[in-house]
Chains A and B, each alone.
Chain A
Amino acid sequence: MATLKELAKRDDLLSGGHRACAGCAMTSIVRQILLVAGKDVVVGCATGCLEVTTTIFPYSAWRVPFIHTAFENVAATISGVETAYRSLRKQGVLNKEMRFIAFGGDGGTYDIGIQALSGALERGHRMLYVCYDNEAYMNTGVQRSGATPFSANTTTCPVGECSTGKPQFNKDLTAIVAAHGIPYVAQTTSAHWRDLTTKVEKALNADGPSFLNVLSPCVVGWEYPSDQTVQIAKLAVDTCFWPLYEVENGKYRLNLIPAEKKPLDEWIKRQGRFKHFYKPGGEELLAKAQAEVDRRWERLLAVSEKPQKQSK
């Protein structure tokens, strides 16, 4: 495992000058992943924030081979690249060792791309799929997705006279992926650099498909000041809304148990998308959201190995 000092000396494989928003977590996720992966990778990308902000023709921020084809199919596209690699290696045409990484947002992963993802996982392609989960269709202006949390305000389920935002809870995609029985599945965030880079290393070394669900706070959609991205991501973990855990060869392991589990309110109140939680009737929404977080956390505790030390 590389230290921060070592990682900092490596080449940055996503150049500056891309058009991502100030405070966007997505590009810091990508940069951390590429620091671990190195240059012998092929990156696939679903249509979404990452693709549109990094590849506006005739420019590209990518210093590694990159392919985008469409929205719902990055898992299928990269599986084709990986298959060509295997074929050419088998024939002795290619001798280099390479890795394959697919990036999709939550729209391209939880929703429209879940079929292609499931198919690619089941077929066993050796690839790392990374979902940068910003909890809505941010690229097209904050429409709700299967990853949008309960009662968040979005442009397609707006808070109104008869609406308190998204009526449903977010889909537990990490569990859905884990159910495929692939070698390595994990959840992390943009802000936990050691956790993220350790997981990337494990994922890239897995002999088969691997999957990372990375929480990616969004300044525009979550409505918070652009200098608070790291804090917001950390609060999601400290409130147990987004636990850091991994499923390695079927074994669940919690990577962090907060010494003191903070109330969900501490994460919710920092974000404009939940501001109706603090109007009359909002206590009920908060209680319901908290109950679901507790239920999922208890379930995870029940099935997981615990870390040796608890964080402070």
Chain B
Amino acid sequence: MKIVGLTGNDAVAEAMRQLNPDVCAAYPITPQTELMEKFASFAADGKVKTEIVLAESEHSAMSACIGASCAGGRVMTATSANGLALMWEMLYIAASYRCPIVMGVVNRALSGPINIHCDHSDSMGARDAGWIQLFSENSQEAYDNTIQAIKIAENPDVLLPVMVCLDGFITSHTVERVEVLDDEVVSRFAGEYVPKYSLLRSDRPMTFGPLDFHDYYFEHKRIQFEAMEKAKPVVRDVSERFSKLVGRPFGVLDAHKMEDAEIAVIALGSTAGTARGVVDELREQGKKVGLIKLRVFRPFPIKEIVELARGLKALAVMDRSISFGGLGGPVFGETRSACYGAGVNVPMVNYIYGLGGRDTTFEEIERLYGEMETVAREGKQVDAIRFLNVRE
């Protein structure tokens, strides 16, 4: 193990170097660009065995990834925002073909108007595409998540693609302290990918991607649903094994000072780091506050969230994306639905924040906890959707 200064982009590229995929097909887009540049330099220096496809678009990049994965290769890529949107069609196809592709998604606001800075509208829009989604708080977690992602994706019970999300610029371009494992340790942890089927087996020809009508399509979708359910214990198992390897705790979520908390916030990505600092400061003032950092958004950790929400007096859910005409952002919708079904009727507020890279400061989150104290005191459901730090 060594400790180095890496940006989030560098950290994912470093993990990719260690995982040494057979094929990487990608297209550059801000703020993902440096990630692929870094990985391309590893390939140029012969540090990986990877064959790179420098595609002419993200749609083709993901198409090539699917082709390479069906040919039995370990496949990785990365993108952001509009690039992810251009892949849209192929995201669903990658998942339904059960291609264990791992993709770094450097979160950026989805146009329009065009904006290159962070929010989660890109990956949240793809939440129903059938990909597992891991969110990273910082460069370290972007590195850790990438290594775990391969292990989860390639598990024979899962065989689903995984997005490793990290916040554009905030994480992707900030140099942070990162503990990097030895190459052999990563290789041993990840293991070899042994594909069950391959297009390159002409002695056992198979048809990938046939026309699937109403007589079978539904069953195939049902099987895909089960694969995502099976991913839940696999994610937990991989987290535990990785925890043992690095000596740092990992779970589907990180419950920070939640044991006796009365007020809690759910956040994901870099904002969770800021919120953790706020919680620590408020705790010093004797306030019973906590934080639930979501690391895994798909599959959504329903049981874990419900258990933590039970007994709270107020819960704020932070969404860095927006659902127009919906009942709050995607994290809020999932959380409230999970809680209601389990009989947990805690007053819950959705905070939409940070769209298009709007800075979300320590003070803003402190104010948010303050507002939640009022909600807790009044003990009843209030206006469900609030906007943090926006000019009205």
Contacts and interface: CB of A to CB of B under 8 A. Distances in A.
A78 interface: yes
B90 A40 contact: no
A65 B50 contact: no
Given A41-B202, A77-B66, A81-B67, A57 B213 contact: yes
B89 A90 contact: no
B23 interface: yes
Contact of A73 (B69, B70, B90, B211): B90
A77 B64 contact: yes
A51 interface: yes
A70 B90 contact: yes
Nearest to B51: A87
B388 interface: no
A64 B67 contact: no
Contact of B211 (A44, A57, A119): A57
Size band of the interface chain A makes with B:
35 or more
B22 A87 contact: yes
Interface stretch (B53-61, B130-138, B323-331): B53-61
A91 B21 CA distance: 12
A174 B293 CA distance: 56
A87 B50 contact: yes
Interface string A46-69: 000001100111111011111111
A44 B90 contact: no
Given A70-B90, A84-B71, A90-B49, A79 B64 contact: yes
A115 interface: yes
Contact of A52 (B75, B93, B97, B211): B211
Nearest to A38: B202
Contacts of B71: 42, 80-81, 84-85, 88
A42 B64 CA distance: 14
B341 interface: no
Contact of B60 (A40, A55, A82, A116): A116
A73 B90 CA distance: 10
A122 B53 CA distance: 12
Contacts of B63: 69-70, 73, 76-77, 80, 116
B60 A87 contact: no
Contacts of B53: 79-80, 83, 123
Interface residues of B, number: 44
A56 B202 CA distance: 21
B68 interface: yes
Contact of A80 (B54, B57, B65, B209): B65
A69 B67 contact: yes
A192 interface: no
A87 B23 contact: yes
A115 B56 contact: yes
Contacts of B69: 80, 84
Interface string B230-260: 0000000000000000000000000000000
Contacts of B4: none
Interface string B18-62: 000011010000000000000000000000011101111101110
A65 B49 CA distance: 25
Contact of A90 (B51, B66, B199): B51
B64 A72 contact: no
Contact of A62 (B67, B200, B207, B213): B207
Contact of B23 (A63, A73, A84, A119): A84
Interface in B191-211: 199-202, 205-211
A40 B67 contact: no
A60 to B, nearest CB: 4
Contact of B210 (A60, A88, A115): A60
B212 interface: yes
Contacts of B83: none
Nearest 4 Cβ contacts at the A-B interface: A80-B67, A119-B56, A80-B64, A76-B60
Given A67-B208, A87-B49, A98-B202, 17 more contacts: A42-B199, A55-B211, A56-B210, A57-B210, A57-B216, A60-B210, A63-B205, A65-B208, A66-B205, A67-B209, A69-B63, A70-B90, A76-B63, A79-B64, A80-B66, A83-B64, A116-B56
13 contacts: A42-B200, A56-B210, A64-B205, A69-B63, A80-B25, A81-B67, A83-B53, A83-B67, A84-B23, A84-B69, A84-B72, A84-B75, A91-B22
